[in-house]
Chains A and B, each alone.
Chain A
Amino acid sequence: MTTATDTGQRAGAAHDGVGADALRPDGALKVEGAFAYASDLRWEGMVWGATLRSPHPSARIVRLDTARALKLPGVVAVLTHEDVPGHPRYGMKVADQPVLAADRVRYQGEPVALVAADHPETARRALRLIDIEYEELPALTDPEQAVEGAGPVVHEERVDGQDGNVVRHVRIRHGDMEEARRLADVVAEGVYEVGMQDQAFLGPEAGLAIPGEDGGVDVFVSTQWLHDDQHQMCAALGLPPDKVRLTLSGVGGAFGGREDVSVQIHAAMLALHTGRPVKMSYNREESFFGHVHRHPAKMWFEHGATRDGKIVYVKARLLFDGGAYTSTSQVVIANGSYFAAGAYEVPHAEIDGFSVFTNNPPCGAMRGFGAVQSCYGVESNLDNLARKLGIDPLELRLRNAMTTGTVLPTGQAVDGPAPAAELLRRLHARPLPPEPEARVSGAFSLPGGLNNTTHGESVRRGIGYAIGVKAIGFSGGVDDRSIARVRLSLTGGEPVAEIHTAAAECGQGIVTVQAQIARTELGVERVVVLPADTQVGDAGSSSASRITWMSGGAVQGACKAVREKLTALGEGLLADLLAEHGPVEAEYEYKHRRTHPIDAERGQGDAHIAFAFAAHRAVVEVDTELGLVKVVELATAQDVGKAMNPLAVAGQIEGGSAQGLGLAVMEELQVAEGRVRNPSFTDYLIPTIADMPAVPIDLLELPHPDSPYGLNGVGEPPTLSSTPAIANALRDATGLELARVPVRPDDIAGRG
């Protein structure tokens, strides 16, 4: 085991090879504002696409007339559902979302019509000239009604063949609950809620579609998964894969919000219809309607424990609001349910997870993918249990911490490292930050920050711990593969490795890591990572904390294959061999071990390939009279298996912790009666530098037995434990229940 709190270059690492702090190639460009994001795309003769969206959460379209819009000078096309060339609906898992609404809209912001015009403003003005009449229908906006079968049905006819408003019920039964209740001396119950968080990536959705001479289309787009986009586009456009060619454009953050398609099909439709290149680029407000959000959740938790603090059982009911269309709801609720017992040894469990349809904004993937919500619930109720038992919350966690071999509620034994207790111990051993009086006080150091609301009055400190576990990679029987092509050739007499994959660089650093792997495996200095596109095989999604593992594994495999070919060519210097025999190339498909779906009755099955753990200790200071919060320190400990690029790992951990802080104290898309009330960065608040504290990182590198280089997924785990650690610290400071996140000032103060 090695640990590193610094991110300095390790001894023995190849120059910018695996394990080095290699700098990302786009870093300086991004800082200088010179990096080309998808919104910067330009093409000669291009026109601009715009989307007409429903203002209503639920309505029938009575009349739709595009004549006036078409007459506006500069407008080249107005398209409706009648112009969709192929399948009228799309979706990642279930194709239930209309490409353009035909007669019915199910959420505010649902796309209804498209315009292309020679100027973006002309396109937007033309949207207002589309004559459309709606008949508003009663909207189902309460997920509890949805799960009870009350209220209107969102989908009169479901494409998955099921009925009603429950997308999926995940049922997990483990052990013997009757026996468990007899064994429990103390029971702690709580109901916890999570508001709707948005990915709030800084680069809104954008793409460029260029019609090809072969009747196909070339699409440049910011996305997380080129091949799944291609698959959905082919269906909607009625074209074969060789006619729908995608290339990744500059991605300005993703966090799950670019898993579902946004502009892809629409821009391609307009391009194919007009024969002209079409650019689509959402503004900030449209972006809030242009992608799915994190599922808001209501969760009922009950823990039973013996008097000496051993957890006997957990009973959990999770209700996730999936909004109007499926997106990834059925998988998100599964992931939330898998980990509803937390990072603990829990012999008996009864877990029921529901995701439901409503007429609220559609929800789907966001960093942590359901496990964020259940981690918040279980970690909140664990502090509640600790209070009931009169045991220190940290001690309670240590007494029940999961280890290798722990059997999950789904019946799978945890294999690979499971250092839950070690992470918590390390956090505990870290000295606490100084109290306010002992600190150099600056504008950022107290609750209220720059806003000058306290000079120390009513400031109370609280400390909270939380730990989270989630699966890495695709779970539940998905046949997950990733392909890489590596070519070694001479350029100017020097060996150069070219790497070609479809792995989407969303800011996490996969471009850097692929080059690092090639340097280590091939011993070459010069590596070129080609643009990600669909000319090479599927890499799978940049999600589920999987891309470094999967595409990294594929690149490693391809490099090894190249090396074998070189060996077969005989002895000699690399440059000489390449000069004599020409370039050497290999393609490799990486697969991880098989997983299995859980069964419907008891939710049992070996569904996962790996588990990743992170823990946080939050130190907060609360102005108890105003309810304002300063998170003073957000220390974290995480096992990453192997830090492929320690600098990038630190970036992922800090970023994930920040996103968790946002959910704890400010980030919420407020929805009332199906309508979004704050679709702007004026009122959807994300943490600033005045809100983010130092994030001291304690990195464990316990090699995972099954992965390339022993690495484990890094991106999501910090987002799980950061939120409940802060919530627990706020509870510690205030003595309040604070069942719902984000905790707002008026939850703490001025309550009457």
Chain B
Amino acid sequence: MDFLRPAGWEEALAAKAEHPAAVPIAGGTDLMVEINFDHRRPDHLLDLSRIDELEEWEVGETHVRLGASVPYTRILEQLRTELPGLALASHTVASPQIRNRGSVGGNLGTASPAGDAHPALLAAGAEVEVASVRGTRRIPIDDFYTGVKRNALAPDELIRAVHVKKAAGPQQFSKVGTRNAMVIAVCAFGLALHPDSRTVRTGIGSAAPTPVRAREAEEFLAGALAEGGFWDSGRTIAPSVCTRFAELAAGACDPIDDVRGTAKYRRHAVAVLARRTLGWTWDAYRGRGANGKGTERCA
């Protein structure tokens, strides 16, 4: 196994072009487990840890350009305002030690349906900036996940950054696990209200072969909110709307039974999370704070 250590981004792209099967490694929190157990033995490892710009982020007018290797700890500490959903998701990733090394780039590269960042990225709306010696392109997050642990990267491409839309409204992220911290998701749900475009976006984790959006639920809710003039009035949403939203979210799941939980439970839990996160975000939108007191109707 060769260990490639490019000193800069261009060099990294050249190395990836030369060795398309090389596996990039940054924090190593996922890959090293597979290597230690001899489950995977790539011919080349491509170490990205010397490329400083991957650990930087820029807050722009409408988007945050988040370097692929920015550790989760940085996100949850410093990007709570701009990326509240992703910050909440970052907080649920593994343990503090892993959060100090793990990054969104790694989650995207592995593209596991259980990756904690995915539901938040899907809900916020994002584009993945990928590059190769051939050039740079941006892949909309909706097109990024192509199968179980597969993504839309070409063999010679590396993930450079992810462009996440800055929050224009409340966002939430919830994850169900059998332990109260440091646990792989049994299922997860991300929700973002986008009052600027009067849309709603969602993301579901660990309840389908890939991270998915609950599109029918989003359309239903956006329709209901528009129809009743809720964005302007800020009135409480009827329980029937919350319930329907939750049902449609559960309907977007395509879960399996495994050691972590049953398909039936996952579908049920996604519905509960959808209903609760809707309550919290809507209360926040109405300016009442997500303290649970004003959410009885949805929660």
Nearest CB of chain A from residue B90's CB, rounded to whole Å: 11
Residues of B within 8 A of A752 (CB): 264
Closest to A747 in B: B265
| Beta-carbon contact of A453 and B179 below 8 Å | no
Complex CA distance for A708 and B70, rounded to whole angstroms: 59
| Beta-carbon contact of B269 and A451 below 8 Å | no
| Beta-carbon contact of A746 and B173 below 8 Å | no
Q: Is the interface of A mostly helix, strand, loop or mixed?
A: loop
Q: Does A283 contact B (CB under 8 A)?
A: yes
Which residues of B20-63 have CB atoms within 8 Å of chain A's CB atoms? 36-38
Given A456-B292, A677-B259, A683-B259, A688 contacting B182 (CB threshold 8 A): yes
Which residues of B146-187 have CB atoms within 8 Å of chain A's CB atoms? 172-184, 186
| Beta-carbon contact of B178 and A745 below 8 Å | yes
| Beta-carbon contact of B295 and A455 below 8 Å | yes
Which of the segments A262-270, A378-386, A603-611, A625-633 contacts the partner chain?
A625-633
| Beta-carbon contact of B37 and A683 below 8 Å | no
Given A450-B92, A685-B183, A285 contacting B176 (CB threshold 8 A): no
Closest to B38 in A: A124
Nearest CB of chain B from residue A437's CB, rounded to whole Å: 10
Residues of A within 8 A of B181 (CB): 444, 449-451, 688-691
Which of the segments B5-13, B122-130, B225-233, B272-280 contacts the partner chain?
B272-280
Q: Does A457 contact B (CB under 8 A)?
A: yes
Closest to B271 in A: A750
Complex CA distance for A454 and B299, rounded to whole angstroms: 9
Q: Which among B91, B178, B260, B268 is the interface contact of A749 at CB below 8 angstroms?
A: B268
Q: Does B291 contact A (CB under 8 A)?
A: yes
Which of A688, A690, A750 has the most chain B CB within a 10 Å cutoff?
A750
| Beta-carbon contact of B176 and A444 below 8 Å | no
Which residues of A254-300 have CB atoms within 8 Å of chain B's CB atoms? 283, 285
Nearest CB of chain B from residue A746's CB, rounded to whole Å: 4
Given A453-B273, A455-B291, A687 contacting B179 (CB threshold 8 A): yes
Complex CA distance for A447 and B292, rounded to whole angstroms: 14
Which residues of A449-479 have CB atoms within 8 Å of chain B's CB atoms? 449-458
Complex CA distance for A627 and B36, rounded to whole angstroms: 35
Residues of A within 8 A of B256 (CB): none
Q: Does A744 contact B (CB under 8 A)?
A: yes
Closest to B180 in A: A449
Q: Does B4 contact A (CB under 8 A)?
A: no
Q: Does B290 contact A (CB under 8 A)?
A: yes
Which residues of A548-568 have CB atoms within 8 Å of chain B's CB atoms? none
Residues of B within 8 A of A690 (CB): 179-182
| Beta-carbon contact of B184 and A683 below 8 Å | yes
| Beta-carbon contact of A670 and B259 below 8 Å | yes
Complex CA distance for A678 and B261, rounded to whole angstroms: 12
Residues of A within 8 A of B265 (CB): 627, 745-746, 749-750
| Beta-carbon contact of B295 and A457 below 8 Å | yes
Which of A458, A685, A752 has the most chain B CB within a 10 Å cutoff?
A685
| Beta-carbon contact of B179 and A691 below 8 Å | yes
Complex CA distance for A443 and B174, rounded to whole angstroms: 13
Q: Which among A449, A452, A627, A746 is the interface contact of B264 at CB below 8 angstroms?
A: A746
Total interface residues on B, using CB and 8 Å? 39
| Beta-carbon contact of A455 and B176 below 8 Å | no
| Beta-carbon contact of A746 and B262 below 8 Å | yes
Nearest CB of chain A from residue B102's CB, rounded to whole Å: 14
| Beta-carbon contact of B269 and A455 below 8 Å | no
| Beta-carbon contact of B174 and A744 below 8 Å | no
Residues of A within 8 A of B180 (CB): 444, 447-451, 628, 630, 688, 690-691
| Beta-carbon contact of B173 and A452 below 8 Å | yes
Complex CA distance for A752 and B265, rounded to whole angstroms: 9
Nearest CB of chain A from residue B9's CB, rounded to whole Å: 32
Complex CA distance for A670 and B259, rounded to whole angstroms: 7
Residues of B within 8 A of A449 (CB): 179-181
Nearest CB of chain A from residue B26's CB, rounded to whole Å: 20
| Beta-carbon contact of B268 and A453 below 8 Å | no
Complex CA distance for A685 and B178, rounded to whole angstroms: 8
Q: Does B88 contact A (CB under 8 A)?
A: yes
Complex CA distance for A124 and B38, rounded to whole angstroms: 9
Residues of B within 8 A of A689 (CB): 181
Given A677-B259, A678-B259, A749-B269, A451 contacting B36 (CB threshold 8 A): no
| Beta-carbon contact of A744 and B178 below 8 Å | yes
| Beta-carbon contact of B299 and A453 below 8 Å | no
Complex CA distance for A630 and B262, rounded to whole angstroms: 21
Complex CA distance for A685 and B273, rounded to whole angstroms: 23
Complex CA distance for A745 and B268, rounded to whole angstroms: 11
Residues of A within 8 A of B268 (CB): 749-750
Complex CA distance for A691 and B180, rounded to whole angstroms: 6
Q: Does A682 contact B (CB under 8 A)?
A: yes
Given A451-B92, A626-B272, A683-B184, A457 contacting B292 (CB threshold 8 A): yes
Given A456-B292, A688-B182, A750-B268, A448 contacting B176 (CB threshold 8 A): yes
CB-defined interface of A659-676 with B at 8 Å, one 1/0 digit per residue?
Answer: 000000110001000000
Closest to A452 in B: B174
Nearest CB of chain B from residue A119's CB, rounded to whole Å: 13
Residues of B within 8 A of A750 (CB): 262, 264-265, 267-269
Nearest CB of chain B from residue A276's CB, rounded to whole Å: 24
CB-defined interface of A575-619 with B at 8 Å, one 1/0 digit per residue?
Answer: 000000000000000000000000000000000000000000000
Nearest CB of chain B from residue A634's CB, rounded to whole Å: 14
Which of B182, B260, B290, B295 has the most chain A CB within a 10 Å cutoff?
B182
| Beta-carbon contact of A745 and B91 below 8 Å | no
Given A283-B36, A749-B268, A750-B269, A451 contacting B176 (CB threshold 8 A): yes
Residues of A within 8 A of B92 (CB): 450-452
Closest to A682 in B: B184
Closest to A686 in B: B179
Residues of B within 8 A of A745 (CB): 176, 178, 186, 261, 265, 269
Complex CA distance for A677 and B299, rounded to whole angstroms: 35
Complex CA distance for A482 and B272, rounded to whole angstroms: 58
| Beta-carbon contact of A451 and B178 below 8 Å | no
Closest to B280 in A: A455
Q: Which among B176, B184, B290 is the interface contact of A628 at CB below 8 angstroms?
A: B176
| Beta-carbon contact of A666 and B179 below 8 Å | yes
Residues of B within 8 A of A450 (CB): 91-92, 180-181
Residues of A within 8 A of B262 (CB): 746, 750
Which of B262, B264, B265, B273 has the most chain A CB within a 10 Å cutoff?
B265
| Beta-carbon contact of A451 and B182 below 8 Å | no
Which of A451, A670, A682 has the most chain B CB within a 10 Å cutoff?
A451
Complex CA distance for A678 and B260, rounded to whole angstroms: 9
CB-defined interface of B90-110 with A at 8 Å, one 1/0 digit per residue?
Answer: 011000000000000000000
| Beta-carbon contact of B176 and A453 below 8 Å | yes
Residues of A within 8 A of B172 (CB): 452
Residues of A within 8 A of B273 (CB): 453, 626
Which residues of A335-389 have CB atoms within 8 Å of chain B's CB atoms? none
CB-defined interface of A680-715 with B at 8 Å, one 1/0 digit per residue?
Answer: 001101011111000000000000000000000000
CB-defined interface of A630-644 with B at 8 Å, one 1/0 digit per residue?
Answer: 100000000000000
Complex CA distance for A666 and B267, rounded to whole angstroms: 21
Closest to A689 in B: B181
Complex CA distance for A690 and B96, rounded to whole angstroms: 13
Residues of B within 8 A of A121 (CB): 38
Nearest CB of chain B from residue A686's CB, rounded to whole Å: 8
Nearest CB of chain B from residue A738's CB, rounded to whole Å: 15
| Beta-carbon contact of A685 and B175 below 8 Å | no
| Beta-carbon contact of B292 and A746 below 8 Å | no
Residues of A within 8 A of B36 (CB): 283
Shortest Cβ-Cβ A-B pairs, 9 listed:
A449-B180, A750-B268, A455-B292, A690-B181, A746-B265, A457-B299, A456-B292, A690-B180, A750-B265
List 12 A-B pairs, Cβ < 8 Å: A285-B37, A444-B180, A449-B180, A452-B91, A453-B175, A455-B290, A455-B292, A690-B179, A691-B179, A746-B264, A749-B268, A749-B269
Q: List 6 additional A-B contacts (Cβ < 8 Å) besides A626-B272, A749-B268.
A: A283-B36, A450-B91, A625-B272, A688-B181, A691-B179, A746-B261
